[in-house]
Every structure is written in C-alpha cells, then in structure tokens.
C-alpha cells in the first residue's frame, strides 16, 4: 500500500461532478484529493472552481451567494470574487480607498466540461501551473452527452477502489443477478490487452457468452474496455455498424479513506430512451452490490492485514501500481510520462 503522501496522483484530471448537478446560479462544495473547493458557473454558463475559503477570514465561499453579475459574495463581510477568484469588491472599504483589491485572490482550479461531465485539474500543492494534458478521451463527439446514472461514496481509498473496479474475479461472487450472470456459469476467459496513453485496454472482442446483460443487444456486438489513471474505466460497445453503447465509471478520491464513484451512460439505441429508468435502476443495483462488499472490505482493513496479488486475475492491479510508480517518477524528474506496460494476453475463470 502506498504511503499517504503518495496515495493520490496530482497534475492530473479528476471527475468533479455531473453537469446537471451544477445549475447556474448555485454554488456546490466538493472535496477532491483532500482539496476543498467550490464550484459554480459564470454568466455564460461555463463552470469554474475556487478554493472554498474566503481569503479574508477563511469562511467557505460555498456558503455565500451568486450575484446577478456572476460574482460570489462571501456571507461574512460581503467580499465579492469573480470566476477567476479575483476580488472585485470589499463593501467595508470607503469610496476613496486606494487599495488594489484585485491583488486579493481565491486560488482557482482549472475546470472543463466535456460531454456533460465536469473535470477538475489537481496540481501539486501550491502550484497554479496550467494542465499539460486534456481531460480523458470519452470517445464521444463534443455534441453528445452522457447521462448520469449514480454517485456514491466508497469507504476505501483510491487504490482499493481502483483495484475493485478493474478486478475481473469478483464478478462471479459479487454480481450474481438474474440480469447479469450466475456463479454456476463459470468459463475460462482469454483477453488481449494493449497499453494506451495513461493505462491499458482490453482489445475489442465479442462479449462473454455467459453475460446476460449483453444478450439484450441484438446483432453483431463487440466490446472494448479501457482503464486509465487516476481511476477511469470506459466500456465501448458496438452494436452492428451504426450503434454504440458507452458505460463510463470514474473514481475520485475525496480524502485518504474515501472515494466517490460516478457512473455515466450513453447510447444511440432508441430503445434506451424508453427503458432509461429501468436501466438506471439496474445500474444502481449493480453498483450497490459493489458497495456492499466494499463496506465489508473497509471493516476488514481496520485490522491492517497483509495483502497479496496472485496470478493473472490480479495482473491489472499490478499494472495500476506500475502506472502510478511511473507517474510519480515522471513528475519528480519533470519529464513526460511514458507508459511502462506492454501488450499481453491474460487468462482467468469467471
């Protein structure tokens, strides 16, 4: 297990919240990677994020108000800050004050909204450097939007959460459902993997014959599954030559003991519009099964037991730690990140 100081990657993008969770005119508090921040939208609707403290006396800006001019007004002394964190007004100062209040700033975070997902860039502590990379590739045109399925907090740190996300062996025992698969339908799986920019992908293949969830998709169906640090998993399903279904799961560390999981969904299939609420309920059931076992895991980890990774079923977990190690090395040496992974074929029973 990584030390606390090395647990959470920096100089990288994290999912902050779904676009619809941030209506214009409201302020939303979030804690991400141990950073407390306030999210809002400017007058044009573009999202922004500032450190959630007024520079004056430290009151959370998220407890303030959004004014008609788009500024945030602190609830304590009425100081106003624009979307860049620049102080624009201090009501208590006399009209003839010569103080240059624009030098007072609430530190800002870089934010981008992509396909109805709001991403925030977490730099090194104390840094205001511009991002060197774009947010993750979501495999959608800019005009297309994900629909948000669920958001839930896992009682485990980012490492345990990621390993649970990419672990193929737990599916047999945790996700036993009529709509998915049974523990009685075990099969030997052979999957080919290739490195990507920040992670790896399971090369496109026909879905497993014992996975009921895929059988509702008629026609020529294939799937490709991507994982990239810091904790993003995307499954791209092609249905024939015209349609696609994309499932996106993101893991965002809140602190060193808690991680937020968000699930998003996109489909070009017309039937999903009519079945959206049943599909959303099934998605929540699936995630709820994971949460149940994560609560048990958190209880077990209180004993600080020795842990192990064994064989090919745990290879992806080992790759995750290799990716993190290389990320730290690249940051320390101020060199571009280079993926250390190679193409490989894995086997497991599930």
| pLDDT for residue 129 | 82
- Lowest mean per-residue pLDDT among 61-65, 182-186, 229-233, 284-288: 182-186
Q: How many residues does the chain have?
A: 350
In this structure, the answer to whether residues 319 and 228 fall within a common structural domain is yes
Mean pLDDT of the residues in the chain: 90
Pull the structure tokens for residue 47.
Answer: 């999202």
Q: Pick from 80, 36, 82: which is nearest to 56 by CA?
A: 80
Alpha-carbon distance of 2 to 230, in angstroms, equals 14
Residue range 108-112: average pLDDT? 97
Number of domains within the chain: 2
Point out the domain boundary residue: 88, 122, 156: 122
Q: Is residue 131 part of a domain?
A: no
In this structure, the answer to whether residues 208 and 101 fall within a common structural domain is no
Alpha-carbon distance of 137 to 61, in angstroms, equals 32
| 200 confidence band (pLDDT: 50, 70, 90) | very high
Please name the residue that has the structure tokens 């647990």.
7
Q: Domain residues for 293?
A: 147-349
Q: Pick from 209, 217, 219, 218: which is nearest to 182 by CA?
A: 209
Please report, for the domain that includes residue 310, its CATH number: 3.90.380.10
| pLDDT for residue 181 | 56
High-pLDDT (> 90) share of the chain, %: 71
Alpha-carbon distance of 271 to 275, in angstroms, equals 6
Tell me phi and psi for residue 19, to 5 degrees: -55, -40
In this structure, the answer to whether residues 158 and 225 fall within a common structural domain is yes
Are residues 285 and 302 in contact, defined by beta-carbon separation less than 8 angstroms? no
| pLDDT for residue 318 | 97
Alpha-carbon distance of 334 to 247, in angstroms, equals 34
| pLDDT for residue 298 | 87
pLDDT in tens, 8-19: 999 999 999 999
In this structure, the answer to whether residues 228 and 331 fall within a common structural domain is yes
Q: Is residue 216 part of a domain?
A: yes
In this structure, the answer to whether residues 302 and 201 fall within a common structural domain is yes
| 210 confidence band (pLDDT: 50, 70, 90) | very low
Alpha-carbon distance of 113 to 151, in angstroms, equals 17
Crossing angle for the helix pair 276-301 and 158-166, to the nearest 10 degrees: 130
* pTM of full prediction above 0.85: yes
| pLDDT for residue 81 | 98
Question: Exposed/middle/buried for 309, CB within 10 Å: 0-12, 13-18, 19+?
Answer: middle
| 212 confidence band (pLDDT: 50, 70, 90) | low
High-pLDDT (> 70) share of the chain, %: 91
| pLDDT for residue 2 | 47
Pull the structure tokens for residue 214.
Answer: 């895929």
Alpha-carbon distance of 135 to 120, in angstroms, equals 9
Please report, for the domain that includes residue 55, its CATH number: 2.102.10.10
Question: Exposed/middle/buried for 87, CB within 10 Å: 0-12, 13-18, 19+?
Answer: buried
In this structure, the answer to whether residues 293 and 212 fall within a common structural domain is yes
In this structure, the answer to whether residues 62 and 161 fall within a common structural domain is no
pLDDT in tens, 218-246: 568 899 999 999 999 999 999 887 899 99
Alpha-carbon distance of 34 to 108, in angstroms, equals 15
In this structure, the answer to whether residues 191 and 325 fall within a common structural domain is yes
- Lowest mean per-residue pLDDT among 84-88, 189-193, 279-283: 279-283
Going across the sheet that includes 87-89, the strands are 65-66, 72-73, 80-81, 87-89
pLDDT in tens, 281-319: 777 777 778 777 888 888 898 888 998 999 999 999 999
pLDDT in tens, 132-160: 899 999 999 999 999 998 999 999 999 99
Residue 126's CB is within 10 A of a number of other CB atoms, namely 6
């Amino acid at each position: 297990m990584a030390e606390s100081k090395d647990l959470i990657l920096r100089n990288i993008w994290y999912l902050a919240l779904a676009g619809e969770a941030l209506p214009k005119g409201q302020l939303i508090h979030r804690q991400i990677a141990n950073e407390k921040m306030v999210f809002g939208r400017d007058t044009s609707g573009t999202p922004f994020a500032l450190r959630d403290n007024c520079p004056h006396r430290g009151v959370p800006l998220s407890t303030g108000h959004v004014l008609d001019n788009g500024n945030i007004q602190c609830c304590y002394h009425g100081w106003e800050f624009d979307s860049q964190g620049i102080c624009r007004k201090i009501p208590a100062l006399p009209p003839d004050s010569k103080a240059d209040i624009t030098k007072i700033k609430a530190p800002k975070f870089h934010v981008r909204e992509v396909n109805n997902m709001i991403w925030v860039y977490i730099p090194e502590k104390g840094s205001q450097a511009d991002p060197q990379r774009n947010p993750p590739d979501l495999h959608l045109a800019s005009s297309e939007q994900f629909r948000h399925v669920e958001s839930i907090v896992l009682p485990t740190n980012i490492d345990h959460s990621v390993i649970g996300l990419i672990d193929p062996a737990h599916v047999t025992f945790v996700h036993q459902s009529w709509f998915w698969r049974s523990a009685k339908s075990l099969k030997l799986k052979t999957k080919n993997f290739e490195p990507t920019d920040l992670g790896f992908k399971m090369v496109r293949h026909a879905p497993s014959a014992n996975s009921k969830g895929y059988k509702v998709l008629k026609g020529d169906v294939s799937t490709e599954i991507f994982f990239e640090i810091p904790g993003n998993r995307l499954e791209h399903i092609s249905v024939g030559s015209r349609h696609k279904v994309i499932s996106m799961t993101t893991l965002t560390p809140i602190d060193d003991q808690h991680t937020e999981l968000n699930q998003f969904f996109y489909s070009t299939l017309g039937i999903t519009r009519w079945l959206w609420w049943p599909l959303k309920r099934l998605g929540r059931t699936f995630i709820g099964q994971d949460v149940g076992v994560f609560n048990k895991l958190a209880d077990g980890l209180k004993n600080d037991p020795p842990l192990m990774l064994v064989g090919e079923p745990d290879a992806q977990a080992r790759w995750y730690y290799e990716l993190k190690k290389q990320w730290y090395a690249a940051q320390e040496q101020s060199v571009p990140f280079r993926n250390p992974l190679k193409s490989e074929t894995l086997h497991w029973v599930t």
